[in-house]
C-alpha cells in the first residue's frame, strides 16, 4: 500500500516545500509517505516537473454539468447567470463536443507527470440542490451520462493508467446501492478502471453517524455489500466527516444573495476533510486494503499536514 497526500502547488504550499531541507523528496520521506496525489485542474501541465512525486492525479471536475450535457435550459439558468459565465465555467466550451475536448486536454496535462492513476468524480449537484436536496437527476441518470462522457474520451487514457471513479454523497456513484455500481461499471468501455473510495464522502451519506467508530463500521458494511465489486476499490481518500447534524439543520432554500464563497463554506461543513482522532484504524485499513491510501485533508501549511499525517499513521498501527 502506498501512502500519499493531496497536493496542489498553490502559493504557500509551493514555497514551503521549496524551503524544506531536501525539498519534496525529503518532506515525503520524513512523513513516511510514498508520494502525492496531485491536483491538475488546468488543460496545460505545470511548468515544474512533479513526475518524481505524483503517484496519482485528481482530474478537474464540474460539480454541476448534467444540465449542459442534456441541454436542460431551465436548469442551466438556475446555475449560471448568463451564457458567458457558463462558458467560463466549462473552461471555454460552448457545447458538449468542445467540453469533451477540454476533458481530454485536462487528462493529457495530467499524464505529463506519469501518474499510476487518475481520479474522476461521479456526481452532479446544482447550487440550489446543495441546500434543498431536491435533486433534478437521480443516480442512474448521472452514472449513465458519466459513462457516456468517459467512453467518448477513453482512448486518450493509456492502458497502464488506472481511472479510479470517486464516490460522493450527492446523487451519482455514492456506493450505497450495489446495483448502481454494477450498472455503472458494466457500461464502461475500458478495463483499467476502479473505485477511489472517499471515506468522508461515504460518511456524509449517513446523517445518523455519531462517532468515528460508528462511521468506520458503516463504511465496512457498505463496502461488504458491494460483493465482488469490493475488489475494484483500488484507492481510498482517507478523511473523517461527521456532519450529520449540520446537514439536517441546513436543509432548506438557498439563502438569497449568497456568494460562491459562502456556498463552498457550506459544502466544506459537510465534507470536512478532518483527520481521525480516536478510532483505531489498523483493522479498518486492512479490510479496505487499498493500493493507494491518500490522506486527503484540509490543511493550511505543509508542516501542519505533516503533523496530521503522523497522527493518523499512529492510529493506523492500532
| Sequence-ordered alpha helix ranges (H) in the chain | 13-19, 23-30, 66-70, 73-79, 83-89, 96-111, 129-132, 139-153, 178-187, 199-203, 212-225, 244-250, 260-270, 282-288, 302-315
Identify the segments of the chain with pLDDT beneath 70.
none
pLDDT at residue 52 in the model: 98
What DSSP character marks residue 296?
-
- Tens digit of pLDDT for each residue in 39-65? 999 999 999 999 999 999 999 999 999
pLDDT at residue 45 in the model: 97
Q: Give the distance, in angstroms, between the CA of residue 236 and the centroid of all CA atoms in the same chain.
A: 10
Q: Is 110 exposed, middle or buried (0-12, 13-18, 19+ CB in 10 A)?
A: buried
> 226 in helix, strand or coil?
coil
Half-sphere exposure in the Cβ direction for 213 (13 Å, CA): 3
pLDDT at residue 229 in the model: 98
Q: Residue 162 contacts by C-beta under 8 Å, 6 or more apart in sequence?
A: 116, 117, 118, 192, 193, 194, 234
What CATH number corresponds to the domain at position 244? 3.20.20.150
> 168 in helix, strand or coil?
coil
Please count the structural domains in the chain: 1
**pTM of this prediction?**
0.98
pLDDT at residue 44 in the model: 97
Residue with cell 483499467: 192
pLDDT at residue 153 in the model: 98
Averaged confidence pLDDT in the chain: 97
> 172 in helix, strand or coil?
strand
Its domain, for residue 52, covers 2-315
Buried b (16+ CB within 10 A) or exposed e, 51-82: eebbbbbbbbbbbbbbbbbeeeeebbeebbee
Amino acid at each position: 500500500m502506498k501512502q500519499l497526500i493531496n497536493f496542489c502547488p498553490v502559493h504557500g504550499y509551493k514555497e514551503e516545500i521549496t524551503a524544506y531541507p531536501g525539498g519534496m523528496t525529503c518532506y515525503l520521506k520524513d512523513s513516511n509517505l510514498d508520494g502525492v496525489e496531485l491536483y491538475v485542474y488546468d488543460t496545460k501541465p505545470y511548468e515544474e516537473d512533479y513526475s518524481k512525486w505524483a503517484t496519482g492525479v485528481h482530474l478537474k471536475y464540474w460539480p454541476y454539468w448534467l444540465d449542459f450535457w442534456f441541454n436542460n435550459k431551465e436548469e442551466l439558468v438556475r446555475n449560471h447567470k448568463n451564457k458567458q459565465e457558463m462558458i467560463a465555467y466549462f473552461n471555454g466550451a460552448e457545447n458538449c463536443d468542445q467540453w469533451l475536448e477540454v476533458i481530454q486536454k485536462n487528462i493529457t496535462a495530467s499524464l505529463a507527470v506519469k501518474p499510476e492513476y487518475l481520479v474522476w468524480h461521479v456526481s452532479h449537484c446544482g447550487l440550489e440542490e446543495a441546500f434543498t436536496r431536491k435533486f433534478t437527476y437521480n443516480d442512474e441518470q448521472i452514472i449513465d451520462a458519466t459513462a457516456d462522457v468517459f467512453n467518448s474520451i477513453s482512448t486518450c487514457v493509456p492502458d497502464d493508467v488506472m481511472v479510479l471513479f470517486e464516490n460522493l454523497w450527492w446523487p451519482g456513484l455514492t456506493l450505497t446501492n450495489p446495483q448502481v455500481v454494477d450498472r455503472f461499471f458494466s457500461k464502461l468501455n475500458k478495463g483499467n478502471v476502479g473505485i477511489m473510495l472517499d471515506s468522508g464522502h461515504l460518511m456524509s451519506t449517513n446523517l445518523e453517524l455519531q462517532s468515528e467508530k460508528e462511521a468506520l463500521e458503516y463504511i465496512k458494511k457498505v463496502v461488504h455489500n458491494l460483493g465482488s465489486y469490493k475488489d475494484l476499490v483500488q484507492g481510498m481518500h482517507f478523511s473523517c466527516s461527521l456532519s450529520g447534524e449540520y446537514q439536517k439543520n441546513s436543509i432548506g432554500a438557498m439563502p438569497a444573495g449568497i456568494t460562491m464563497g459562502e456556498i463552498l463554506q457550506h459544502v466544506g461543513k459537510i465534507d470536512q476533510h478532518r483527520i481521525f482522532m480516536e478510532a483505531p484504524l489498523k483493522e479498518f485499513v486492512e479490510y479496505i486494503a487499498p493500493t493507494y491510501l491518500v490522506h486527503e485533508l484540509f490543511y493550511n501549511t505543509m508542516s501542519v499536514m505533516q503533523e496530521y499525517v503522523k497522527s493518523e499513521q499512529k492510529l493506523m498501527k492500532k
